[in-house]
Structure 1
Amino acid sequence: MLALLVLSLMPASISAPSTGWDKSNHTLGFAALAFFAHWARPARTPVMLFGLLGYGALIEVLQSLTPDRLAEWSDLWADGVGLLIGAVLASTVQRLAVVRSS
């Protein structure tokens, strides 16, 4: 979470790791958060996803306060898509692990 916050708030002029498209950066970052959140507390995944979406909204608010960044609704949508992808992927991996262990 801290890494995403730093990458989201650092000046755009500084070279940072990127997929090459801002929206895919958001999707990938939040998919990773959702994946790990699911593995940390599978029974609480819906609550954690809602909290992580709130975290994405907070990042957008903080970006609006910086001189180099812009807050965009489309970034929050990309965060939400990433959260869904990460949660589905984590759930699928978990089910496959259970099937393999049986």
Structure 2
Amino acid sequence: MNSLQNVEMKFSQRQEQAADLWALDLLNKTYGHVGGATDFFEHMSKNDKRGRIRYYFATHPHPENRIRVLRKNILKKAYLEKEKTALDRPLSKLVTTPGRTN
């Protein structure tokens, strides 16, 4: 791997982190709390058998790093973590796909 590839991967990891923090803010604005914000990454981390070193060369941060950053920001912004509630319809009905109506 050359230096440019390493820089590009670190840049991409920063973009992923920015997206995670944007999503955290969106959760709080939408629901008034961030309960469940780390669930996906906790599931990924628990089921990841490939090890941490792989993420040194990856475009995405390790799930445990993502959890740590999210938790740090939850505390920093004093976001509430309330109980999760079920969606009123399947997620596939809430998400739109370009060119398709739900």
Normalised TM-score (structure 2): 0.39
Using CA pairs below 8 Å that are at least 6 residues apart, which structure has the higher relative contact order? Answer: 1
Q: Which structure has more helix as a fraction of its residues?
A: 1
Bigger Rg, which one: 2
TM-score normalised to the size of structure 1?
0.39
